[in-house]
Amino acid sequence: MPRVRSNRPDRKSATARARRSPCPVACALDLFGDRWTLLIVRDLILNRTRFKDFMESPEGVPTNILSERLARLLRHGIIEQIPAADGTKRLAYHLTKKGAALRPILKAMRDWGLQWTEGAQALLT
């Protein structure tokens, strides 16, 4: 018997539909598994808070990619914008509780890199 298509809207959220898998590892990688995102989170942990601070990182993230990754992190509640500490009109970025929960992941990656990658140096303490 053929299935009859309902007029009801799809109950899955847009985020759920965009995922390639319900696997939690795959879901996490969909959010921050690219070349740049965890480096931005690392910089936030190291108290770099402004766009210009991220641009000074040794990895040299291109400005268009940095803008897109910051927007993605904002959209997913990993970071938030706050008034800059220097009192200017510019905004700074800050990890939310959800973003701060990535700290042990970065520490584990740092430890792995120090143990298994020749020439690696720790910036994250």
The C-alpha atoms of residue 22 and residue 79 are separated, in whole angstroms, by 23
Instruction: Classify domain 22-116 by CATH number.
Output: 1.10.10.10
Domain ranges of the chain: 22-116
Higher pLDDT pick, 19 / 64: 64
Are the C-beta atoms of 123 and 46 separated by less than 8 Å? Answer: yes
The whole-number pLDDT of residue 13 equals 60
Are the C-beta atoms of 106 and 42 separated by less than 8 Å? Answer: yes
pLDDT category at 14 given cuts 50, 70, 90 is: low
Higher pLDDT pick, 106 / 9: 106
